[in-house]
Structure formats: structure tokens, C-alpha cells
Amino acid sequence: MLQPIPTRIYRITHLDNLLTTLQYGLFCRNHSAPPVTNYRNIGDADLTSRRGNRVVPVPPGGVLNDYVPFYLGPRGPMLFRISKHSPQADIIYLVSHVQHLQQLDIPFVFTAGHAYDILTTDDQYYTDPADLASLEWADIYAKPMWKSTIQNPHLQRHKQAELLVHNFVPVNALVGIGVFTEHIRTQVEQMVYQAGLILPVAVVKDWYYE
């Protein structure tokens, strides 16, 4: 599989976080952000904490928690874990694409696999968008299953390849929102309207688990 153009990036979040995101944008863990009392964290708290120790070996440097992470493909292991104990309909996708970030002159780093994984070595961190073509796109978009095999021991790691935006993602960097059901689409469209924005919202069941 060749690199998709435009090259979408995907961040999942809880529906409860959307209004705040539409108002303020997305902040990395280490960046001071507006106080939010009702933020719903959907990630693994232990892993999020440990990412603060993983150095980013390319400019602008720092550690993983200095960046807002997106996945390069949908329907990843993180959503699978969430789906086992929470309704998927409560999870939405915030979508942008690499070419839009370039138009906005927003700096980013990307990886050939899960950014924290020890097997994602320093030479698998990139800053040149031309290197996107060398990633394992068939693994990144693998479905229905993405578990590693003897024939492809890195499939699950590749599936979780990341694009990392330094410090902050402004709202105008988003190009759309993906949801699981029509009911949630209606709610999200109302929130987008309430925020005074124009942002397409689509039902994309293929990005979720059965």
C-alpha cells in the first residue's frame, strides 16, 4: 500500500472533551493549558506518564509528552482496549492531515511505529515529510486484525505509528470529525455550530470495532 494522499492523521478523544477542544485547541501533557474540570482521559495513565521519559531524538527534541500525538491510521489497539469496557459511540476522531499542517507551517515529528516502543529506534523518528512514503502503510491500515505474526512481527507496532505535533494544535488544524453513529453525529454538529466553526462531521463505522 502506498502513502495515502492527503495523508490523514487521527486522534481519538471522549465526546465530553469536544467542546473544550473546539474552544481552546489541543495541548500536550507538558504544556500549560486552560483549566478544565471535566476532562475525560481515555488513555493508559501509566503509559502516558512513562512517555514523559522517552526522549524525542530529532528537532525540536524534548520528550513525548511535549507533543500532541496522533495516529497515522484509524482503528488501532488503543480503541480496541477502550471498546472492551466503554461504549465506542462515546469516542470520536479528531482528524487532520499532514499536508494541512504543512500549509499552516505547524512543525511535527513522525515515527515508523508506536513512539514509546523500544523497537521504534531513534532512526525511526522523522521530520522530513518525504520520509512518510517509506512507512509500512499496509500495516498502518491493517484490518480487521493487527496482531503481530511470525511472518510480520512488527505489525502491531507499525499499526500504531504516530505523528507528533509539538506543544499545541490549534483548532484550525482540524479538517473533520469522525463518529460511530448518526445520533452522535447530530450531537457533534451541534457542538461545532455552538463553537462558531465550520467543520465536517461524518459517520465512519470502518474506523470502529464491531
pLDDT digits (tens, 9 = 90+) for 4-25: 999 999 999 999 999 999 999 9
What's the predicted TM-score (pTM) here? 0.94
Q: Amino acid letter at 171?
A: V
- pLDDT recorded at residue 88: 94
Catalytic: 81? no
pLDDT digits (tens, 9 = 90+) for 80-130: 999 988 899 999 999 999 999 999 999 999 999 999 999 999 999 999 999
Residues annotated within a binding site for NAD(+): 11-13, 51
Which residue among the candidates 75, 157, 162, 185 is catalytic per the annotation?
162
Collapse the DSSP code of 111 into the 3-class scheme (helix H, G, I; strand E, B; otherwise coil) and give the result: strand
Confidence at residue 127, expressed as pLDDT on a 0 to 100 scale: 97
Q: Which of the following is catalytic: 51, 75, 157, 185?
A: 51
Cis bond upstream, residue 69 (ω within 30): no
Say yes or no to pLDDT of 74 above 90: yes
Q: Is the pLDDT of residue 60 over 80?
A: yes
Residue 37 has pLDDT above 70, yes or no: no
The backbone torsions φ and ψ at residue 108, rounded to the nearest 5 degrees and listed phi first, read -150, 160
Q: Rg of the Cα trace of the chain?
A: 16
pLDDT single digits (tens) 133-168: 999 999 999 987 788 888 899 999 999 999 999 999
Binding-site entries: 11-13, 51
Annotation marks residue 189 as catalytic: no
The residues near 86 (Cβ < 8 Å, ≥ 6 apart) are 42
Q: Which residues sit opposite 202 in a β-bridge?
A: 178
